[in-house]
């Protein structure tokens, strides 16, 4: 579970995140929408413990990020817009290396299974990551989330720059993770994917959560129109 | 362990790392080879002089066993004072032009500084310095180490991998320490292997060589750890690989070039050495003056030492020379003392300020361990002075009293045997150097650690 309790972050005079109150339960996919500079990435950075909040608290599976940043990070997985990996390692080696950093150890067979589960065939997993497309890197990121058994997943613009097929494949994997009980918070500009995949959608504007919808509430509604309306308000 | 294995694998897949490691190995082998040649030459010289000295000593003993000999006859022959080959000559060949390992002690020229160089060097070669193992370890080893370790995390920071790493909940300090160890391992291992090989390749010349070798490895390891800590510190601060490369280069120039040069300038300014030419010139002047005043000097000598006056005051050439020598000693002592005290003051200052640059500390420690540095040669020079005194004390009363040497004098014949410094003296000096370098490394590591929180690193990552 991911919780933001009156989470606030200020950069000098500017309020980047303003008293954000948010909860992502296990099995939920929460899409955080908002224009550039709305505070989406700042929120994710506070969940990762990369930024200290000026007020409020971020919790990962009940662990306060401020009190125990390493413990909190061990419970989550993170997939940025560009999944940066070591180009001299193969996909399977990268997965093994990053799993080991998080204190997890897997056999080679398990690692291949995880990568295949994330949609990366064995032949590709044995190739150096330097030759990978963005979509393939994202799959390694998903495999990493699977490998670490993370209970929470943070995604920062995960489908940006992916072709429709890769984006669809990625969504399928996300839904699978959610089904397995992972709480997923996804900062995105992709309204289509948000509508398709998210169980909850929040609109962040100037650091404030100005609207929140459940999937049921969005049924029959035009998310784009709602989003633009909030932006203009 | 798995992280370390992967870090090593990452390094092994870097072609530049292979090239650098191979180049460093070549440089080490070349330096050792150069050392073999020079050490062999020095060993040969010492052996030649020692053999000649032993042969002469044997002949004297044989002759004295048969008949009494006039001490003037023996005193004509210079006696050899030889510094035995260094315990670890290949580690640091030393500067034979400045620290000669041989001195011919002649009763007739006891007070005259001798030019006892056994090696003649091309001045341009002296200017460039020796390409020995100590040079490679002090000057080039950090460069090779930094070439592999300058980008401990700056590149990952630029590429975004660092954020992925930090998100795994790993301790950045532990991760960086593992990476520094992996990156430094090949160069450090080669440096340690070459240090170890300097004994087997160059031949162990003293009982203490193995202990010295262990200490030398300690010096090399501490020096390497210092440079890895510097790399960690720079990577905690630099935001890009290019900035990190520039910064470690600047630190190398400062520590290895600028600080030692500045210290040299300060030492020379505070304790300027009288020139050797001046020393020789004043000796000649004193000698010329004493010889001109020959009779006056002799009368004055016997007034001061009536117990040495020959029967009937029948004075010959040898007695006159001895009296003149005594007079020269009186004039020369202040000059020589100044020379020695300035040299000692310089070394004291270097010892005191060696931690201003670990390069100085490492070099001092390595030459000390090799037995080609200041301290062993200082001990040699002090012992040569003592030997000169014992030559004078042995021959002077016998010549003045016209007492021939007999079989009973054999046991007292002056002979030079170099006594090595007690082990605890050099171990305490070297231990202090190692401790100082480790303390500086710890300081750099602590400073690096303060910059290595996940939050700070993430804030500066892309």
| A96/B163 CB distance under 8 A | no
Of B182, B198, B83, nearest to B135 by C-alpha is: B198
Q: How many CA atoms lie within 13 A of B384 on its CB side?
A: 25
Nearest-by-CA chain B residue for A42 = B459
Contact B454, A49 (CB under 8 A): yes
- From residue B293, give the alpha-carbon distance in Å to each of B296, B320, B323: 5, 11, 11
Give the C-alpha separation, B414 to A233, whole Å.
108
3-state helix, strand, coil in chain B (%, to 5): 75, 0, 20
Q: What is the pLDDT of residues B350-396, one digit of tens each?
A: 888 888 899 999 999 999 998 888 888 889 988 998 998 888 888 88
Among chain B residues, the shortest Cα distance to A66 is held by B455
DSSP state of B88: S
Cβ–Cβ gap B168/A88 under 8 Å: no
Inter-chain Cβ pairs, chain A and chain B, closer than 8 A: 82
Q: Give B-chain residues touching A16 at CB under 8 angstroms.
A: none
A93, B6: Cβ pair inside 8 Å?
yes
**Which of A52, A73, A85 is nearest residue B169 as measured by Cβ atoms?**
A73
Q: Which sequence spans correspond to the domains of chain A?
A: 1-75+183-224+229-233, 84-150
Q: How confident is the model at residue B204 (pLDDT cuts 50, 70, 90)?
A: low
User: Which of B13, B167, B454 comes nearest A88 by C-beta?
Assistant: B13
The CA distance from B202 to B41, in Å, is: 12
Select the residue of B159, B167, B171 nearest A48 (Cβ to Cβ): B167
Question: What is the arithmetic mean of pLDDT over B75-87?
Answer: 82
Nearest CA in chain A to B14: A88
Q: Which residues in chain A are contacts of B14 at CB distance < 8 A?
A: 88
Per-residue 3-state assignment (H helix, E strand, C coil) for A178-231: HHCCCEEEEECCCHHHHHHHCCEEEEEECCEEEEEEEHHHHCCCCHHHHHHHHH
Lowest mean pLDDT among A195-199, B155-159, B326-330: B326-330
Give the rounded distance of the alpha carbon of A190 from its chain centre: 13
Strand order of the β-sheet with A208-214 is A76-79, A152-156, A183-187, A29-33, A200-205, A208-214
DSSP B171: -
SS3 of residue A15 by DSSP: strand
Mean pLDDT of chain B, nearest integer? 83
Ordered DSSP codes for B264-314: HHHHHHHSPPPPHHHHHHHHHHHHHHHHHTHHHHHHHHHHH-GGGPPGGG-
Higher pLDDT, B304 or A180: A180
Which pairing describes strands A152-156 and A76-79: parallel, antiparallel, or unpaired?
Answer: parallel
What are the tokens at B131? 């390409």
The residues on B that touch A, with CB distances below 8 Å, are: 2-3, 6, 9-10, 13-14, 156, 159-161, 163-171, 175, 454-455, 458-459
Alpha helices (H) along chain A: 40-48, 69-74, 91-101, 108-117, 122-125, 134-148, 164-179, 191-197, 215-218, 223-232
* Better pLDDT: A220 or B297: A220
Task: Identify all chain B residues contacting A82, using CB atoms and an 8 Å cutoff.
Answer: 160
Widest Cα–Cα separation across chain A: 54
- In chain B, the percentage of residues whose pLDDT exceeds 70 is 89
Question: Which CA distances in Å does A6 have to A20, A115, A208?
Answer: 5, 37, 10
Domain count, chain B: 1
Q: Is B2–A69 a contact, with Cβ atoms under 8 angstroms apart?
A: no
Chain A residues with CB under 8 Å of a chain B CB are 45, 48-52, 69-74, 76-78, 80, 82-86, 88-89, 93, 96-98, 100-103, 105, 148
Cβ neighbours of B455 in A, within 8 Å: 49-52, 69
Q: Find the closest chain B residue to A69 by CA distance.
A: B169
Give the residue from B8, B14, B164, B173 with the most A CB atoms within 10 Å of its CB, the best one to mutate: B164
pLDDT higher than 80, residue B100: no
pLDDT in tens, chain A (233 residues): 899 999 999 988 888 899 999 999 999 999 999 998 889 999 999 999 888 899 999 999 999 998 998 888 888 889 888 889 999 999 999 999 999 988 888 999 999 999 998 888 999 999 999 999 988 998 898 888 888 888 899 999 888 777 888 888 888 888 988 998 999 999 999 888 888 889 999 999 988 989 898 888 888 878 888 888 878 77
d(CA A80, CA A48): 12
Alpha-carbon Rg of chain A, whole angstroms? 17
Output the pLDDT for position B280.
Answer: 75
Measured between beta carbons, the chain A residues lying within 8 angstroms of B454 are: 49-50, 69-70, 73
CB-CB neighbors (< 8 A) of A98 in chain B: 164-165, 168
CA B163 to chain A, closest CA, distance in angstroms equals 8
Distance CA B129, CA B94 (A): 10
Please name the fold of domain A1-75+183-224+229-233. Rossmann fold (3.40.50)
B14: nearest Cα among A90, A88, A131, A84: A88
Helix (H, G, I), strand (E, B) or coil at A7: strand
Which of A86, A96, A102 is nearest residue B161 as measured by Cβ atoms?
A: A86
CA distance readout (Å), A204 to A188, A191, B438: 11, 13, 52
Distance CA A103, CA A89 (A): 19
Shortest Cα distance, chain A CAs vs residue B24, angstroms? 24
Which of A51, A73, A100 lies nearest to residue B2, judging by beta carbons?
A100
Domain region containing B138: 2-459
Nearest to A50 among B168, B169, B459 (CB): B459
Do A89 and B168 make contact, defined as CB atoms within 8 angstroms?
no
DSSP SS3 for B414: coil
How many beta carbons lie within 10 A of that of residue A83, not counting itself?
24
User: Which runs of E-coded beta strand occur in B101-248?
Assistant: 102-105
Q: What is the ipTM of this complex?
A: 0.86
Q: Read off φ and ψ for residue B442, nearest 5 degrees.
A: -65, -40
């Amino acid at each position: 579970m991911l919780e933001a309790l009156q989470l606030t972050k200020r950069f000098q005079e500017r309020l980047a995140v303003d008293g954000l109150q948010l909860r992502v339960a296990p099995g939920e996919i929460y899409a955080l929408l908002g224009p550039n500079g709305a505070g989406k990435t700042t929120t994710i950075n506070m969940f990762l413990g990369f930024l200290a909040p000026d007020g409020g608290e971020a919790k990962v599976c009940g662990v306060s990020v401020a009190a125990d940043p390493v413990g909190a990070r061990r419970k989550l997985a993170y997939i940025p817009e560009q999944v940066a990996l070591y180009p001299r390692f193969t996909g399977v080696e990268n997965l093994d290396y990053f799993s080991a950093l998080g204190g997890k150890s897997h056999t080679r067979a398990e690692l291949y299974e995880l990568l295949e589960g994330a949609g990366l065939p064995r032949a590709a997993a044995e190739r150096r990551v330097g030759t990978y497309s963005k979509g393939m890197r994202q799959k390694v990121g998903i495999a990493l989330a699977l490998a670490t058994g993370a209970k929470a997943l943070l995604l920062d613009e995960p489908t940006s720059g992916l072709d429709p097929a890769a984006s669809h494949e990625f969504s399928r994997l996300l839904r699978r993770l959610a089904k397995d009980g992972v709480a997923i918070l996804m900062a995105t500009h992709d309204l289509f994917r948000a509508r398709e995949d998210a169980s909850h959608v929040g609109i962040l504007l100037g650091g404030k959560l100005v609207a929140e919808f459940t999937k049921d509430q969005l049924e029959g509604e035009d998310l784009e129109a709602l989003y633009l309306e909030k932006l203009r308000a | 362990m798995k992280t370390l294995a992967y870090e090593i694998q990452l390094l092994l897949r870097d072609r530049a790392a292979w090239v650098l490691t191979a180049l460093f190995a070549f440089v080490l082998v070349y330096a050792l080879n150069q050392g073999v040649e020079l050490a062999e030459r020095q060993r040969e010289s010492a052996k030649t002089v020692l053999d000649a000295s032993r042969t002469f000593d044997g002949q004297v003993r044989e002759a004295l066993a048969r008949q009494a000999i006039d001490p003037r006859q023996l005193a004509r022959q210079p006696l050899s004072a030889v510094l035995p080959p260094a315990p670890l000559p290949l580690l640091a060949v030393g500067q034979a032009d400045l620290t000669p390992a041989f001195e011919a002690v002649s009763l007739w020229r006891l007070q005259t500084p001798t030019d006892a160089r056994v090696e003649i060097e091309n001045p341009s070669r002296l200017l460039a310095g020796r390409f020995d193992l100590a040079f490679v370890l002090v000057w080039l080893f950090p460069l090779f180490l930094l070439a592999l370790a300058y980008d401990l995390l700056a590149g990952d920071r630029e590429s975004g991998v660092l954020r992925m790493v930090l998100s795994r909940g790993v301790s950045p300090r532990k991760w960086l320490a593992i990476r520094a160890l992996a990156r430094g391992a090949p160069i450090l291992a080669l440096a340690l292997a070459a240090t170890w090989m300097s004994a087997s390749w160059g031949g162990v010349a003293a009982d203490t060589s193995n202990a010295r070798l262990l200490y030398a490895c300690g010096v090399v390891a501490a020096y390497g750890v210092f440079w890895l800590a510097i790399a960690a510190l720079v990577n905690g601060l630099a935001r890009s690989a290019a900035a990190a490369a520039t910064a470690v280069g600047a630190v190398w120039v400062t520590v290895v070039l600028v600080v030692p040069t500045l210290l040299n300038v300060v030492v020379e300014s505070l304790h300027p050495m009288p020139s050797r030419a001046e020393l020789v010139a004043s000796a000649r002047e004193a000698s010329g003056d004493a010889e001109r005043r020959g009779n006056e000097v002799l009368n004055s000598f016997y007034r001061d030492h009536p117990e040495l006056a020959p029967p009937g005051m029948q004075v010959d050439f040898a007695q006159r020379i001895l009296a003149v020598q005594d007079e020269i000693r009186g004039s020369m002592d202040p000059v020589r003392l100044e020379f020695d005290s300035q040299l000692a003051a310089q070394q004291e200052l270097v010892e005191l300020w060696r931690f201003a640059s670990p390069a100085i500390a490492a070099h001092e420690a390595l030459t000390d361990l090799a037995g080609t540095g200041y301290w062993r040669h200082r001990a040699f020079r002090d012992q040569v002075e003592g030997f000169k005194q014992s030559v004078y004390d042995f021959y002077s009363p016998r010549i003045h009293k016209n007492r021939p040497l007999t079989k009973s004098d054999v046991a007292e014949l002056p002979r030079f045997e170099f006594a090595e410094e007690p082990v605890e003296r050099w171990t305490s000096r070297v231990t202090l150097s190692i401790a100082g370098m480790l303390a500086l490394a710890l300081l750099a590591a602590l400073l690096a650690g303060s910059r290595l929180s996940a939050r700070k690193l993430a804030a500066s990552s892309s």
